[in-house]
Every structure is written in structure tokens, then in C-alpha cells.
Amino acid sequence: MRNQKLGLVFLLFVAFAIPAWAQTAVDGEGHPWWQHAVFYEIYPRSFADSNHDGIGDLPGITSKLDYLSWLGVDAIWIAPMFPSPHVDWGYDISDYYSVDPDYGTLRDMDELLAQSKPRNIRVLLDFVMTYTSDQNKWFQESKSSRANPKRDWYIWRDARDPQQPPNNWTSLFGGSAWKYDSTTSQWFYHYFYPPQPNLNWRNPEVEKNMFDVTRWWYKRGVAGFRLDAVDVMFVDSQFRDNPVVGTERNAFGDPVEREINDKNQPELHGVLQRLRKVADEHNAVLIGETWTSDIEQLKKYYGEHNDEVNMPMDFMFATINKLSPADFRKQIEWVDNSGGWPVYVVSNHDIRRVYDRYGDGKHDDQIAKLMASLYLTLRGTAVMYYGEEIGMENNDPKRPEDVKDSMGKLGWPKEKGRDGERTPMQWNTQANAGFSPTTPWLPVDDRYKNYNVETEKSDPNSILNYYRQLLSMRHTNQALLEGKYIALNEDDPSVLSYARSYKGQSVLVVLNMSGVTRKVNLNLESKGVHAKGAKTLLSSFTTPGRVDPSEISVEPFGAWIGETE
Ligand code: BGC
């Protein structure tokens, strides 16, 4: 009784003494909202076109909220929709406080936020914090004179030798990462395309201004940010050359460098900690575009006290480009034991679609369901990419003149760019897949007549309905929500199996990553999982309602998900 009273006093204290924005809500098991949420990335240019100009827009997204809610999505992350000259399709921001006219107005954004709320869908924006557009007024001021107060907001250097860039760093989009500017006879640094100059995060004014951007959007109702390109936020303060590896050249014809001086500098963690504090004050979440090459690097993004990026995306998992149980097992084991909350993603606007990377041309639909069954049943948060749920595949440009992505323009033919994974969402069988009555900015995939939301909604065996059932299970099954990950049959080279166990109940997942039917004995007792039998919850092939966990037959590339009895 006394405890109950104390509990009530505590709750009242939380409710009244701490302002609403500062209350980081957690559920009964101690999870903040984002840990059990399913996130969905929207590339705004390609999602839904409301004003029929061939370009997706914010009102288009608003018009599809009911669909997202039907699917089971809890939060959307919208790739940059800020004013931009679009040399990198929005990842070159000229004004952080507005909306690009291609996508609508601030009022449209407010409407989207207002309409999302009753549907329990949170809205996250893309925070391009490492660099701006060269059209941003900050850069315009910075480049105007060496004495300008914003000069130091960007990274300016003198030539190393006459007419030579300050060092050997190369841009991800090819060529030197330095561009000469004749106005002040100095070079500025750009890790990406030259019109994307990097900010100088060692300048406290930059930090203050960029943090204010997030505060402004939080107050408008945004629930968090995906932090773009955090690994290249700082460069070596002494501007030392990167070591060159071997004599090979990359797709752009540049020497291959070990990027030790232009990436992953220790100072970035201080910024992330401070940015996280601001996010926490608003019960918001930070997703990280955290490319890492090993688990130790990924761990650093969570922060020593889980006080940096809430959701650093695991791209090591996302880029296991073959159906290899051993590789997935190893990666899951690492991330699951990292001490941070795992974040799984299988594709996005920079990564070729799942359907292409794993498909064998014959079992592609099965494989799409297989991959969904994998990353949506793991312990952690899942970040989907629009169109994945209907089995969209890459539609790559065939001719250099059709390429829209600067990376593809510069790297053609070796590097065709990322247009292929950014094509319009396929809504129905009408012209342009119902995305727009006008010719869309990128061509719609020819397969849209069979792979679209409307058609798949009415087919109980579609990829879309499979995703929907998975998402629903994820939200309601306690073992899937809370269960610890237990690897099963760790030596099996063809089938990836695991349990998610919670309070004596286990969900069992069996994923056949091979092209032949496999019989599996899950050997549950050897892993301390007790079961008399199992019942099928969801399966990508015809399965009996009850199965014997010591003898489960799984079709080629089949996925079976069951529950212990
Ligand atoms: C975004 C890319 C973009 C790059 C440079 C990234 O991290 O995800 O789409 O091209 O930043 O702007």
C-alpha cells in the first residue's frame, strides 16, 4: 500500500514538476517510444505527387498517411524537403527553416504533422548537419571575404603548392575534396559534391546555429532527426594527407585512400552528446547514418553511456549482400551484444533495393519475404524503405543522359548512381503507377502492373500483406517485443534459425537461405528453450498450423515463424 502511495506521488511529480517536453516516456518494460516503433523512410520526390507536376510532395505524403497506418508504420523519416538547388536532390540545403517549393510550403508541413498525430505516426526529418548548399546564405557570406564573420563557419585553406589543393583528400563523388574559390584565393573543403561545402564544426557558432535548427523543428512537432553523414563531420585539425592504398583507382579514377584523416574524428562524439541532450529535452530521437566497418566503431555512436545517437543504423548488416546465414548470424550476435539498442535496415535511398541484391531472378518474391522475416523479427528497431513492402526493385538508368543523380553523372558507366532505388512509389495499375498523371521525374518500374499497393492489397499472399502481418505481429507478440535473441543451429550453412524468448514463451524463426527444401531440427533444449510443440504464426509457404520443432520442413527461400507451445 505504502509503495503504491509512493508510486502515485512519483507519478504526480513527473506529471507536474517536469515539463511535458522533458518527460521521456517509457512503456511498462522501460522502453522509450522509438524502441518498438517501425520506421519508414520516405523519399519525398518519389512518394506521391498531389499537384501533378511529376514530383512527389508533402501533401502527397499526407494523403498516404492512412495507408501507412494500415500497414502498421509508427514513424516516418522524410529525406530532405528543405529548400535546395538539388545538386544532390535535397542533400544540399540552402535554408534549414523552410520547405522547398517542389514539395510544398511550411503550412503543408504543419498539416502533415497535424494529420500524423491522430494516426499515431511520428514525423522525423533529415538533418544534413555536416555541410550545406553553396547557395546557403551562410556560405555566400563565408566566401565573400576572408574577414567575413562567417568565414570560419566553413573550412578554408591555402593551396599547398601553387594551384594545388591543400592536401590529397578525395571527394566521395570523385576528384579532389577541395575547390578553389577565386573570390578570396583560397580552397574550401567538400567531402561530397563541390556545391556541398562542409561546415566547420570546431566553430561554436556553427554548433549553436545548427542546434537551434533542431529546436525550431521540435517546437513545430517534429519527433526527431536522421543525422546525415555524421562520420565526416570533422576532419583532422592538421589536415594531414590520407595514406594511399596500393595503385588501384576507384570508379571515379581516383587513388584509393585509407580515410583516417577525413573521417571519424573523435570530436564528433562531443557534438553528438550535446545534440542528444537537446533531443532528450523534446522526447525526440536521433537516427544515425552511421557507416562503420566494425562493431567497435558502431558502439562508439551509441556513446559510452548510451548518450549519443539513439538509433545508429547498422549498415554492416544492411550490406551483407549475399544470403549467408553465417554472415547474418555473426553480425546479429555483434549488434545484439553491443550494449545499445539494435537498429536494422535493409535498404535505403543510397543502397540498392533488397529485391535486387538478394533476388535470384526466380524466387524473388519469396526472397523479399525472407528478408522481411529476418530484420522484422530481430530484437531492435526496424527502418523500412518505401516500396520495399511491395517488392519494388531497382530501375537503373540505361543511358547516361537519363541520369539524375550527381554520383551517377560523374561516375558513369562504372558508377550508375542511385536513381534506380529512388523511382516513384507504385500505388496502382494506372498510368505511372498512380504516382502522378504527369511524366514522373524518374521512370516508374515496368513491373508496376503487378507490384503496386492496390493490387497487392487484394492478394492475401502478396509481399504487402506479408509485411502487414509481420508488422502487426511485431507490435503485439510479447516475445517479439521483449524476447532475447537466441541463435539456434549455429553451424547450419543454409538455414538461419533463432528464438526470441520472453518469460517462458518463444517465437521461433526459421529462414531457408538456399534454393532447396530443408528439414530442420531446431534442437531447442540444447539452448534452454522448452517446447512441447510449435504453432505457425506466419509462413511464406503453405505450412501446417502445428509443427514439430525437431522436424520443420522449409521450402526454398522459405520463411517460417512460429511460437512454442
Ligand atoms: C545521403 C546521400 C547524399 C550524401 C551527400 C548522404 O549521406 O544519404 O544520399 O548523397 O549524404 O549529400
pLDDT band of residue 5 (cuts 50, 70, 90) is low
Show me where the domains of the chain are located.
Answer: 2-130+207-235+272-470, 484-564
pLDDT at 342: 98
Residue 533 CB neighbour total at 10 angstroms = 13
User: 381-385 and 343-345: which strand pairing?
Assistant: parallel
Cβ atoms of 370 and 557 closer than 8 Å: yes
Residue 121, phi then psi, degrees to nearest 5: -110, 125
Residue nearest to atom 11 of ligand 1 (CA): 229
- The atom number, within ligand 1, closest to the CA of 418 reads 9
Q: Is the CB of 349 under 6 A from ligand 1?
A: yes
The residues annotated with a catalytic role in the active site are: 228, 281
**pLDDT tens digit string along 61-76?**
999 999 999 999 999 9
Percent of the chain with pLDDT over 70: 96
Cβ atoms of 353 and 390 closer than 8 Å: no
pLDDT at 10: 46
| Ligand 1 centroid – CA 317 distance (Å) | 19
Over residues 527-539, mean pLDDT? 97
| Ligand 1 centroid – CA 467 distance (Å) | 27
Q: Is the CB of 289 under 6 A from ligand 1?
A: yes
| Ligand 1 centroid – CA 91 distance (Å) | 6
Over residues 368-397, mean pLDDT? 98
Q: Is the CB of 41 under 6 A from ligand 1?
A: no
CA distance 342 to 174: 33
Measured between its terminal Cα atoms, the distance across the chain in Å is 37
**pLDDT tens digit string along 158-176?**
999 999 999 999 999 999 9
| Ligand 1 centroid – CA 64 distance (Å) | 25
User: Best of 91, 129, 172 to mutate for ligand 1, by most ligand atoms within 8 A of CB?
Assistant: 91
84 has a pLDDT exceeding 50: yes
pLDDT band of residue 133 (cuts 50, 70, 90) is very high
**pLDDT tens digit string along 252-271?**
999 999 999 999 999 999 99
The three grid cell numbers given for residue 52, joined into one nine-digit string: 501533378
Q: Is the CB of 228 under 6 A from ligand 1?
A: yes
Its CATH architecture, for the domain 2-130+207-235+272-470, is Alpha-Beta Barrel (3.20)
- The atom number, within ligand 1, closest to the CA of 350 reads 9
pLDDT at 27: 81
**pLDDT tens digit string along 292-335?**
999 999 999 999 999 999 999 999 999 999 999 999 999 999 99
Residue 118 CB neighbour total at 10 angstroms = 9
Number of helices (H) and strands (E), helices first, in the chain?
A: 16, 21
Residue nearest to atom 12 of ligand 1 (CA): 91
4 has a pLDDT exceeding 60: no
- The atom number, within ligand 1, closest to the CA of 229 reads 7
Over residues 444-465, mean pLDDT? 98
- For the chain, how many residues are written? 565
- The atom number, within ligand 1, closest to the CA of 349 reads 9
Closest by CA to 419, choosing from 440, 405, 431, 432, is 405
Residue 267, phi then psi, degrees to nearest 5: -60, -25
| Ligand 1 centroid – CA 558 distance (Å) | 34
Average pLDDT, the chain: 95
Residue nearest to atom 10 of ligand 1 (CA): 88
| Ligand 1 centroid – CA 192 distance (Å) | 8
Residue nearest to atom 2 of ligand 1 (CA): 350
Cis peptide preceding 400, ω within 30 of 0: no
Residue 8 CB burial class (10 angstroms; 0-12, 13-18, ≥19): exposed
pLDDT at 387: 98
Residue 350 CB neighbour total at 10 angstroms = 16
**pLDDT tens digit string along 31-48?**
999 999 999 999 999 999
Q: Is the CB of 91 under 6 A from ligand 1?
A: yes
- The atom number, within ligand 1, closest to the CA of 196 reads 12
CA-to-CA separations, 19 to 5, 8, 11, 16, in angstroms, rounded: 22, 18, 13, 7
Residue nearest to atom 9 of ligand 1 (CA): 350
The better pLDDT of the pair 28, 184 is held by 184
User: Best of 192, 345, 385, 421 to mutate for ligand 1, by most ligand atoms within 8 A of CB?
Assistant: 192
The three grid cell numbers given for residue 170, joined into one nine-digit string: 578525395
- Specify the DSSP class assigned to residue 79: P
pLDDT at 227: 98
CA distance 453 to 436: 15
| Ligand 1 centroid – CA 88 distance (Å) | 7
pLDDT at 11: 47
pLDDT at 24: 56
Q: Is the CB of 419 under 6 A from ligand 1?
A: no
Q: Is the CB of 336 under 6 A from ligand 1?
A: no
Cβ atoms of 56 and 45 closer than 8 Å: yes
CA distance 95 to 43: 19
pLDDT band of residue 370 (cuts 50, 70, 90) is very high
Q: Is the CB of 350 under 6 A from ligand 1?
A: yes
Q: Is the CB of 410 under 6 A from ligand 1?
A: no
6 has a pLDDT exceeding 60: no
pLDDT band of residue 396 (cuts 50, 70, 90) is very high
Q: Is the CB of 172 under 6 A from ligand 1?
A: no
Q: Rg of the chain's alpha carbons, rounded to an integer?
A: 24
Over residues 531-550, mean pLDDT? 97
Options 2.60.40.1180, 3.50.50.60, 3.40.50.300, 3.30.470.20; CATH of 484-564 = 2.60.40.1180
User: Best of 42, 87, 228, 418 to mutate for ligand 1, by most ligand atoms within 8 A of CB?
Assistant: 228
User: Best of 350, 405, 406, 421 to mutate for ligand 1, by most ligand atoms within 8 A of CB?
Assistant: 350
**pLDDT tens digit string along 89-131?**
999 999 999 999 999 999 999 999 999 999 999 999 999 999 9
This prediction has a pTM of: 0.95
